[in-house]
Amino acid sequence: MTALACDVAVVGAGPTGLTLANLLGRAGVSVVLVERNEGTVREPRAVSIDDESLRTLQAAGLIDAVLRDVALDYGSRYFGPDGRRFLAVEPTSREYGFPKRNAFEQPRLEATLRAGLARFSNIATLFRHACESAAEDSSGVTLTLRDPDGAPVSLRARHVAACDGGRSMFRKIVGATMAGSTYRQRWLIVDLGATKERLRQTRVVCDPARPLITLPGPGGIRRYEVMLRDDEDDAAATDPAFVKSLLAAHGPDADAPVVRRQVYTFHARIADRWNSERIFLAGDAAHLSPPFAGQGMNSGLRDAHNLAWKLAAVTRGELSPGLLSTYQVERAPHAWALIKLAVTMGRVMMPTSPLQGVLVRNGFRLAGLVPPVQAWFAQMKYKPKPFYRDGFVVADDGGLGVAGRMLPQPELERLDRSRGRLDDLLGDGFGLVAYGAGAPALLAAAADVEFGLPNLRRVAVLPADQTPDPDPSDVPTGRDVAGLLAGWLPPGRDVLLAVRPDRYVAAACVAAPGATAALGTTLRGLIDRCALVGPGGQTP
């Protein structure tokens, strides 16, 4: 029997597993990626990628390659059965460095992510290898695989990331059950290789008789999602003539080339347990979302970023295994909040009666008369913000209200007038970000403070009206070109932020005598508390 070993075995080469493997590859962790299929997917699946996911792919070092295949920055328009628009969601802000809504093709994304693995000598891929069993003990996990010829392969890993989809075999192994519900409604998904529809936005038709969504894609492609009636069986719904009649009734694409037509039911479910001591569920293995908010795959990429830096820090011996106990604590509430958002959006898209549809549409039209409410919808402020109340965070930040939140990513201008994103200056690890007119001096004063965080990179961010000091400095410094942080932090105050590798703020303080030293003490205390907890959440 062939025997292999690695630090982390990633099972499943979908977007979650591939992203996780790339992040671990950059961190120098030895990884074996296991996938039962011959390659990555070839048919369209997920089609919407958000700003948080693009930031994760930036961290993976693949953002330029990914963006070549992404149609950036589109919105949604909601219509009633009469064709009148009652809501427009077209966000313009770029809080995390990228547009909030973007279209992509999953086969192209997965191909890019797979190609990215070739950068790393510490990554091995085993396609056409089925995982048949897993045996966990106190020091690792032994996976029994079956190679393409049917021969057994033993893979020994310190940790396993189970990214093996909605039918994950690892849920039972970790003792997880799925809570939630399954939608009764069935939807026909039709992917087109070309479209005559010139509307660049998503068009949502909230018609009780036949709800429909049509979404743009890169390179002139388009998707139609149509709810089926109870008397329309799957075979009839995927018949080419039936599909053509639906397309003819809802736009100019009756004769467009069809790449895929498939009937789906949707789930709103989440695992009650995301991990054992050494096995961690991620992506659809941990949660299943209806498509109405476009967050299913995006939540999986959030899992990947959260889990990757923690596995890397533990594997390298930089932080204790107790850090891994914060994975579900942090990720599950946000994942469930987005599932609930999708359920709510589904109710808007699928009115159960003409009267309900009228009430919903008129409600949105009335709300649109109030500018702040209209902006709340248009700018997607209803989408739950990434926010960790518990986990590897110090919630008490002196009233700043930023600890546990994702740090915005401003564009920074250096003294030589070159511009770049904040994350590129921070690098891959922990960061110490000072913001304010006195940011460079604040970091200089913090040079002798022990924060306990490994490979801490320091960056000074100046307000938009400040120019970097021409005196040479070892600390990267730039001005916040668009003033993004000015609206996020208190005006006129210098602030120090301890930032995690996934760009969440672990702790923060306002500059004051003794505050920086106290921040260091607080962070060291947080690290010590993790050392008292096992990776599965148990205290010895």
pLDDT single digits (tens) 341-393: 999 999 899 998 999 999 999 999 998 899 998 999 899 999 998 899 999 99
Q: Is residue 470 a part of any domain in this protein?
A: yes
Q: Is residue 321 a part of any domain in this protein?
A: yes
* CATH code, 345: 3.50.50.60
At residue 304, does pLDDT exceed 70? yes
At residue 537, does pLDDT exceed 80? no
pLDDT single digits (tens) 433-448: 999 999 999 999 999 9
pLDDT band at 473 (very low <50, low <70, confident <90, very high): confident
Same domain, 311 and 425: no
Distances (CA, A) of 309 to 145, 219, 262, 282, 506: 26, 34, 37, 14, 13
At 211, list the tokens: 């709800």
Same domain, 136 and 279: yes
At residue 468, does pLDDT exceed 60? yes
Look at residue 1 in the predicted model and tell me its pLDDT.
73
Domain extent for 147: 2-72+94-176+271-349
Q: Is residue 416 a part of any domain in this protein?
A: yes
- DSSP line for 422-488: HHHHH-SS-EEEEESTTHHHHHHHTTT-----TTPEEEEEE-TT----SS--SS-EEEETT-TGGGT
Q: Which residues on neighbouring strands pair with residue 529, listed in sequence order?
A: none
Same domain, 424 and 519: yes
Task: Tell me the range of 383-387, 473-477, 516-520 where mean pLDDT is highest.
Answer: 516-520
Average pLDDT across the chain, whole number: 95
Same domain, 321 and 443: no
Same domain, 314 and 418: no
Element (H, E) at 179: strand 178-192
Q: Is residue 387 a part of any domain in this protein?
A: no
Nearest residue to 187 (alpha-carbon basis) of 241, 243, 250? 243
Same domain, 11 and 100: yes
Domain endpoint, select from 326, 349, 372: 349
At residue 449, does pLDDT exceed 90? yes
User: What percent of the chain stands above pLDDT 90?
Assistant: 90
Q: Is residue 186 a part of any domain in this protein?
A: no
* Mean pLDDT, residues 490-514 taken together: 96
* CATH code, 430: 3.40.30.10
pLDDT single digits (tens) 232-279: 999 999 999 999 999 999 999 999 999 999 999 999 999 999 999 999
Residue 327: how many CA atoms within 13 Å on its side-chain side?
A: 35
**Crossing angle of helices 296-315/326-349, nearest 10°?**
170
Q: Is residue 264 a part of any domain in this protein?
A: no
pLDDT single digits (tens) 454-464: 999 999 999 99
Q: How many domains does the chain have?
A: 2
* Cβ–Cβ under 8 Å, residues 445 and 516: yes
Look at residue 540 in the predicted model and tell me its pLDDT.
40
**Strands of 48-50's sheet, edge to edge?**
48-50, 101-103, 71-72
Look at residue 207 in the predicted model and tell me its pLDDT.
94
Residue carrying structure tokens 């919630």:
395
Same domain, 297 and 428: no
